[in-house]
């Protein structure tokens, strides 16, 4: 008889980010921390909408999502956070 104990998997995403572009730029260079994953006996894989922990994000709203997969490729949990970028421009009259 084989007894397998499976620990629940939990993921915590970074908090949402609000930032501003450099002057007259349409993009902001945004960085964030990797999500924290707990449980799963180390038998999980984390995949996100981006493989990097930074990205040039255009003005507006962007959602970054991460999924946690078990060894069989099933999504066991997920999380997401928002990045809001405002543009910085000088109005010339």
Q: How far is CA 18 from CA 7, 11, 40, in A?
A: 34, 22, 32
Taking the whole predicted model, whether its pTM rises above 0.85 is answered as: no
Sequence ranges of the domains in the chain: 10-88
pLDDT at 3: 53
Is residue 28 packed enough to be buried (19+ CB in 10 Å), middle (13-18) or exposed (0-12)? Answer: buried
1-31 pLDDT, tens per residue?
655 555 688 899 999 999 999 998 999 999 9
33-90 pLDDT, tens per residue?
999 888 877 667 888 877 788 889 999 999 999 999 888 888 889 999 999 999 988 7
What's the rounded Cα separation, in Å, for the pair 90 and 93? Answer: 10
pLDDT at 5: 53
Contacts of 40 (CB under 8 A, 6+ apart): 6, 7, 8, 9, 68, 70, 76
Q: DSSP labels for 36-86? A: EEE-GGG--EEEES-SSSEEEEESEEEEEEEEEE-TTS-EEEEEEEEEEEE
The hierarchical CATH code for the domain 10-88 is 2.60.40
């Amino acid at each position: 008889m084989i007894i397998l104990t499976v620990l629940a998997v939990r993921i915590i995403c970074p908090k949402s980010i609000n930032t501003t572009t450099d002057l007259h730029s349409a993009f902001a260079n945004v960085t964030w921390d990797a999500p924290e994953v707990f449980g799963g006996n180390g038998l999980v894989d984390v995949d996100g909408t981006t493989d990097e922990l930074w990205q040039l994000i255009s003005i507006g709203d962007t959602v970054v999502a991460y999924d946690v997969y078990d060894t069989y490729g099933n999504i066991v949990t997920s999380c997401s956070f928002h990045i809001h970028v405002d543009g910085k421009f000088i109005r010339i009259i």
